Amino acid sequence: MEELKQIKPLDQNAMAAAKKHWDAVAKPLGSLGLLEDHVIQLAGIMHTEQVCVSPRCVLVFCADNGVVAQGVSQSGQEMTAAVARALARGESNVNLMASTVQADVFAVDMGMAETVEEPNLLSRRISGGTQDIAVTAAMTRTQAIEAIGAGIDLVGDMKVHGYRMIATGEMGIGNTTTACAVACALLRKEPAELVGRGAGLSDAGLARKTEAIQRALRVNQPNSTDPIDVLCKVGGYDIAGLMGAFLGGAVHQVPIVIDGMISSVAALLAAALCPLATDYMLSSHVSREPSSQLILEKLGFIPIVHAGMALGEGTGALTLFPLLDMALRVYHGSHTFTNLGMDAYAPQGGHQ
């Protein structure tokens, strides 16, 4: 992945200008908290203090996971295809939410078991789903690298089409199992510490899921110091595409919004491969999945939204957009100390 050598640190001059811009707004210094931090970060990504986050979109990476054979989910793989169709037709949950914040939604087939024929479905298909990680590796290293590359290139395509910010989402039955396995490998935690109920597993289902992850880690022995090894042994094509999107954000200088647990696991993989990529990521919410907070802390992010969400599809990431829109109305507004004929506040300790 030669393109990773192109990744540069954020534009510190633009960030300093954005900070100065915020300090000229007639309000207590730093009083919009994390929203101010996000706008300053966006200035560094976009190389200008004139931050704009429209047009924007959501990329929903869809894939199937062989580990469903272990009884780790409530529904079968047919659900992945059904939701992918709805996504492509503009009918799924994320489409409805995105319509309220003027964001376009793109469904991406990274490797579903069923081939879905929809005009608006983007195909980056690697194969018809991964292998069962409780038995063998999910995919080959070559397939993992191909899927990551597809995610990187897709961000480039979105930039060419004018999108200034991208939210990440996913759809794939069984993917909380694969994501938890990846998290266990990277964080060096036992499955019982991180496993969650996903789409609502019973106690028996939760036990099967925990055992499947334990077996996956035991059988495959992923190398926690090699993120691609972890991905190809216990991950999924959706996670690989998401990982590529986070790397692509850094390559193409486009801010990428983390969604829930599965998206954050992909962000963690991207950060492990290329630490500079985290500069181009923004956190949105913390999922109710047990590992979500741990992963965000590992990445060094403080989520803005705490709503107990765990829907996926990018729905949590979308909640950041209206908050940023409100912050930017203030940032670009005329309510400044100068316009009020007042002296600006001076730093006096505390949060600045």
Show which residues are catalytic: 313
H-state helical runs in 47-189: 78-89, 93-99, 141-160, 175-187
Within 13 Å, how many C-alpha atoms sit on residue 25's CB side?
A: 19
Q: Which stretch of DSSP H or E encloses residue 266?
A: helix 261-273
Alpha helices in 161-226 (DSSP H): 175-187, 191-194, 203-220
Closest to 240 measured CA to CA, from 143, 105, 147, 176: 147
Identify the three-state secondary structure at position 167: strand
Hey, how many other C-beta atoms are within 10 angstroms of the C-beta on 307? 12
Q: How far is CA 134 from the centre of its chain?
A: 25
| Structure tokens belonging to residue 54 | 């429209």
Strand partners, 58: 105, 167
3-class SS shares of the chain: helix, strand, coil, % to 5: 50, 10, 40
Among residues 113, 130, 110, 131, the alpha carbon closest in space to that of 121 is found at: 110
User: Cα(350)–Cα(352) distance, rounded to whole angstroms?
Assistant: 6
The packing angle between helices 175-187 and 261-273, to 10°, is 40
| Contact indicator for 335, 25 with CB cutoff of 8 Å | yes
Residues contacting 332, CB < 8 A, separation 6+ = none
